[in-house]
Amino acid sequence: MVKALHATAIAVALAVAAVPAAHAATRTWQGDVSTSWNVAGNWAENAIPANGDDLVFPDNPTSRDSNNDIAGLSIASVAVTTTNSGADYNFTGNAITLTGPVTFTNAGSGSSGTPNWSIPLTLGAPITVTSDGRVSNVVAAIGLGANTLTVAGNGDLVLSGAVSGAGGIDKNSAGSLRLAGSNTYGGATAVNAGTLYAASATALGSNATGTTFANGTNLGLAGGPFTLTEPLTFVGPVNGIYAYENVNLAGGIAFSGTLTYSAFGPGSISGAGLSGSGTFVKSGIDTLSTVGNWPAFTGQFNVVAGAFSPTNTTFPAAVNLLAPAALYGYGTTGLLTITGGTFAPGIGSNQFFRPAGLASSGGQHNLNLAPGTGGTDYDQIQVTGPVALGGTTLVVTSVGPLPLGGVYTIIDNDGADAVAGTYAGYAEGAAFQQGSNWFRIGYAGGSGNDVVLTVIAEPAPPPAGPAAPVPGPGSVALVLGALALLLATRRRLH
């Protein structure tokens, strides 16, 4: 009998727990009395919010400032509507637990009437935050627990408070998501649509799981200088990185499609660097610097705009330089193909660039010479494969006159094959002047297939040829007589 009563009690308790709380309702903000959530007169229903309620914040209430002064509140959903008119919509006060979605609907095209959410959030379940229209700002901390925060909508969302917990973030929104807080969340970040902006070194939380970018999505970098150590995976076939500030990517970048890095401010890649068989495109007006040994980068590196400046960078991928871009620095790469742009090997005491082959048919090579050893004291291209030149302009500079007879190996070709082609306008043995120096060029110098410049004295001008004879008076008289005889003969014939 006791067991039967106990079982009945448990069944009743479970049934009661399964029934939604009777007070769960919609509460619509008006703010007629004050900014307090704990005043019934501020809500259209004349009742304060209770656990499980849905909160609605319509456009143009009496007050756009509201403060949660209710402790321990658990909310089923939040809906905020604003238009481009009036003051911003501000939310402050005690933390709440969310068990359902948050929706920001921001019609219009301006920047006023923006929702600014400063109420700390704890996720009691996986939830979705939707931002439609203009920008929505969540400046409060977000505790994920073990839940996933999903971002949706076609508007922009800024999360500048700290995001913590074991959960992760899924970005499914067409607009941008900006993460700017001191985030510690340990779950994965998945960018399935739009652009994710990282605005701090900790923007992407713990780097244990990394961030994955689906095809057509992008990473934006803003708010530098800082170093982002998050491992990044771009699944392609097309992805982009927009670098607006001085940010170093040090966590490793894996990709297999085309990844375009657009530099609108100086940026860098170090550490684990690039990996994969895809095509990395350096675009944008500014410079990308790199450092590191990246044996797993086997694709190609296309420099199409701005500058690429490697410093002690090694990878087997091919490098393609196109106009109007520039390549300067030192490193070891795959085949270097130059069809345009400016190539200036070396930085400081490391004055070399070491490609596995050189195919140069355009652009220009800028080389600075000084007495000493090639690659250390003066610029040198150290090629570990075939060398082909044709149509490339050679520009040679020095700090002043170089010693006569000095020999400078500007292309050190370690193979046995001969150099194919020549620099534009400079055939084998040609003498030319650049700056204060005269040079003679050879394409079979050094070990027999190196390109060398020898400093020579200014060549003497060619000897003057014999002067053309000037007709004397006698010659003129003979010519006139012959003409007179010819005229007389023609008259007789007629």
Instruction: Name the residue ranges covered by the structural domains of the chain.
Output: 19-403
Q: Which pLDDT value is given to residue 467?
A: 56
Q: Which pLDDT value is given to residue 40?
A: 98
d(CA 270, CA 443): 37
DSSP state of 155: S
Q: Which pLDDT value is given to residue 8?
A: 39
- For residue 237, cis peptide bond before it (omega within 30 degrees of 0): yes
d(CA 343, CA 162): 45
d(CA 472, CA 491): 30
Q: Which pLDDT value is given to residue 481?
A: 45
Structure tokens at 339: 């069809």
Structure tokens at 42: 């501020």
DSSP state of 71: T
Q: Which pLDDT value is given to residue 6?
A: 39
Phi, psi for residue 229 in degrees, rounded to 5: -100, 5
Burial of 72 per CB tally in 10 Å (0-12, 13-18, 19+): exposed
Which residue in 238, 236, 237, 288 sits closest to 262, CA to CA?
A: 288
Q: Which pLDDT value is given to residue 110?
A: 74
Helix or strand run (H / E) with residue 491: helix 473-493
Structure tokens at 454: 């020898």
Count of beta carbons in the 10 Å neighbourhood of residue 490 = 9
Counting as low any pLDDT under 70, the low residues of the chain are 1-23, 465-494
Q: Residue 255: which residues within 8 A CB-CB, separation 6 or more?
A: 233, 234, 235, 236, 239, 274, 275, 276, 278, 280
Q: Residue 178: which residues within 8 A CB-CB, separation 6 or more?
A: 156, 157, 158, 159, 160, 197, 199, 220, 222
d(CA 315, CA 322): 19
**Distances from the Cα of 178 to the Cαs of 79, 155, 187, 261, 396, in angstroms?**
21, 12, 17, 18, 47
Identity at 376, one-letter amino acid code: T
Q: Which pLDDT value is given to residue 86?
A: 74
d(CA 148, CA 195): 19
Q: Which pLDDT value is given to residue 465?
A: 61
Phi, psi for residue 171 in degrees, rounded to 5: -100, 110
Q: Residue 466: which residues within 8 A CB-CB, separation 6 or more?
A: none
DSSP state of 459: P
Q: Residue 219: which residues within 8 A CB-CB, separation 6 or more?
A: 191, 195, 196, 197, 198, 211, 213, 232, 239, 240, 241, 242
